Structure 1
Amino acid sequence: MDRGILYFAKGDEFVLEAEKSAKRTQELMDYPITLVTDIDISPNPFDNIIIDDTEFTRSDKPKSLLRSPYEKTIFLDSDIWLEDSISELFDILDRFEMALAKDPKEPHVHYMDKSHPIDGVPKAFPEYNTGVVAYNQTPGVTQLFEEWKERCKPEHDRDQLSFRSSLYRSDIRFTTLRPEYNCMYRSHNALNGDVKVFHGKLMEDPRYPSLDKALQKLNQHSGPRVSYGYDPYVETIPPRSVPIYLRSRLARLRSIIERRGIIAAVKQMGSFLWRRYNGSN
């Protein structure tokens, strides 16, 4: 099969969450969906179920990604909610072997001692989140997942520590997705455009921000904005209001007139308006 969606979930709680996520994905994207799980469940909404009844370990995620039946795969964590189709990720795979977003918290980067980077990975190399991963079935990607699987340790609190070091050593061609394609709304995010992928608990839990609250807050504005998640709340700082924006442009115009004269100011303002309203079309 050429293209498809992959989930991995073990245990009743996570399987129920994956079902909720997959039903939403099915509404928005017309691609087959596979679930790797330890529970023999009803197929709907999944087109394919792969049973892995071994005890859960941190290496289960890379093992699951290796079992994808598709040439081009979009892997989604069980706690992913799509607000729109993300089929364009398949188009990215025409040029790259893998695409994923950075983790805004980068927790493992900050665990490193300044003089002794973890596992030889420089601090400047970012940490990527593995909740949304688009990838091709290439030898390089397979090698990356195999190394990731071997590097996962029982004492790791997340699988991203081992993934970061594996990706750093990999020769695959990968690209970074915009944060709107994996918005971890319990964290801080710099957004610009509508969030397509919400990443957080799908089941109600008073300890965490609710999905409904995140859906309501984060796409209230689509311009440049910052979101903050602090359990159990999520808030956004919206883009500049129109009065503030106009005041800033007038101050800029006045500065140009004072320094370079009114003709230069008119030319620069005309150039700005052309770029703003025609240059992006």
Structure 2
Amino acid sequence: MDRSMVNGFVYVATGEKYLKEAELSAKSLRNCSPGAKICLITDEVYESSAFDEIRLIPFDEITEQSWKANLVYKVLGIINTPFEHTIFVDTDMYFVHPVDDLFKLLDHFDILACLDYYDQSKINYNNSNMPHYTPYNTGMLVYRQNNEVSRFLKSWKECYEKNLDIYWSDQPAFMEALITHNIKMYILHSSFNFRFLFNVGFLENEKVRIIHGRATEDELKIIAERVNATLDQRVWVASLRKCFTWESNLRDRILRKIYQMIPAPIKKFYRRIR
């Protein structure tokens, strides 16, 4: 294999909205890692200098034209990576710091992912629910090419297609497929998949590297600045779009109490104009 194609990043997108979103994300990745190899997998002709390769994969395997069908296409794209070692990211990812060192972990693990603290979907296996077995977030996956991973990814796709009426997203299907495959996984910290619309805690010296969620580029830059303003042990409070450390001063605590008393419509208006 061409050494330049060993490590790379993959986006999967269909439709103008998500293609533009992938392009913005890829530019943020390029700012952090100028030498990154980036591939876009899509079902339509698209030109952009943000990507090193644009790979066309037909979107004709399923007929349901819905966001669930698009998630099946996402898994199809993940399967068709051109790289030996891949970092797949959703189109609504914004890179703040390099993540290239994750590729080294693939010398020891098959797949890396982050927990999804807010997806409490029940995973059904052999006609019974798996207790305490909740999904990983598949918006960011690091994986290597080998026979077992290839079989697992195909099982993931098949499981989701079979359960489109049951599973709200591809994540429960990922977990169901994982049960039956001998995959060596490592779970990454939330700093590699920071979902700013939710409350998130960070360890000391933990720097957020990827922001996950839809916002304007200016808003994402502000969020990045705030969440990494200190590397002390801290908690991101989504409603305030601000981090609090265990040493938060009295003024911050008072402002937080005041904010909690503000009606939701006013909060929404304030966030929009900020």
- Give TM-score scaled by structure 2 length: 0.77
Does 2:254 correspond to 1:239?
no
d(CA) in 1 for partners of 2:232, 2:143? 29
- 1:2 pairs with one of 6, 15, 18: 6
- 1:12 pairs with one of 10, 16, 30: 16
- 2:151 pairs with one of 126, 137, 143: 143
Q: What do residues 205-239 of structure 1 show as CA deviations (whole Å, max 9, x unaligned)?
A: xxxx9424422321122111111324xx5232223
Does 2:57 correspond to 1:52?
yes
Which of 1 and 2 has greater Rg?
1
Q: What do residues 159-179 of structure 1 show as CA deviations (whole Å, max 9, x unaligned)?
A: 112112112332111100111
Q: What do residues 234-269 of structure 1 show as CA deviations (whole Å, max 9, x unaligned)?
A: 2322232599xxxxxxxxxxxxxxxxxxxxxxxxxx
Q: Secondary structure at the match of 1:59?
A: helix
User: Where in structure 2 are the equivalents of 1:15-34 lying within 5 Å?
Assistant: 15-29=19-33, 30-34=35-39
- 1:102 pairs with one of 104, 112, 115: 115
Q: Please tell me whether the aligned partners of residues 23 and 48 of structure 2 are also in contact (alpha carbons under 8 angstroms).
A: no
What is the total number of aligned residue pairs between the two structures?
230
d(CA) in 2 for partners of 1:228, 1:122? 31
Superposition RMSD in Å? 2.2
- 1:85 pairs with one of 92, 95, 98: 98
1:167 — aligned with what? 178
- Give TM-score scaled by structure 1 length: 0.75
Amino acid at match of 2:38: I
Closer/same/farther in 2, CA of residues 32 and 227 from structure 1, 3 Å limit: same
d(CA) in 1 for partners of 2:12, 2:189? 23
Deviation at 1:202, TM superposition (A): 4.2
Closer/same/farther in 2, CA of residues 202 and 9 from structure 1, 3 Å limit: farther
d(CA) in 1 for partners of 2:246, 2:105? 29
1:38 — aligned with what? 43
Amino acid at match of 1:238: T
Does 2:220 correspond to 1:211?
yes
Closer/same/farther in 2, CA of residues 164 and 228 from structure 1, 3 Å limit: farther
Q: What do residues 77-109 of structure 1 show as CA deviations (whole Å, max 9, x unaligned)?
A: 10111111001110110110111110121231x
Stretches of structure 1 lacking an aligned partner (at least 5 in a row): 244-281
Closer/same/farther in 2, CA of residues 42 and 202 from structure 1, 3 Å limit: farther
Deviation at 1:181, TM superposition (A): 0.9
d(CA) in 1 for partners of 2:241, 2:179? 32
Amino acid at match of 1:42: E
Amino acid at match of 1:158: S
Stretches of structure 2 lacking an aligned partner (at least 5 in a row): 251-274
Q: Secondary structure at the match of 1:142?
A: helix
Amino acid at match of 2:18: F
d(CA) in 2 for partners of 1:107, 1:12? 31
d(CA) in 2 for partners of 1:70, 1:183? 25
- 2:84 pairs with one of 71, 80, 88: 71
Amino acid at match of 2:231: S
d(CA) in 1 for partners of 2:74, 2:87? 13
d(CA) in 1 for partners of 2:129, 2:233? 32
d(CA) in 2 for partners of 1:69, 1:121? 36
Q: Secondary structure at the match of 1:171?
A: coil
- 1:130 pairs with one of 127, 138, 141: 138
Amino acid at match of 2:36: Y
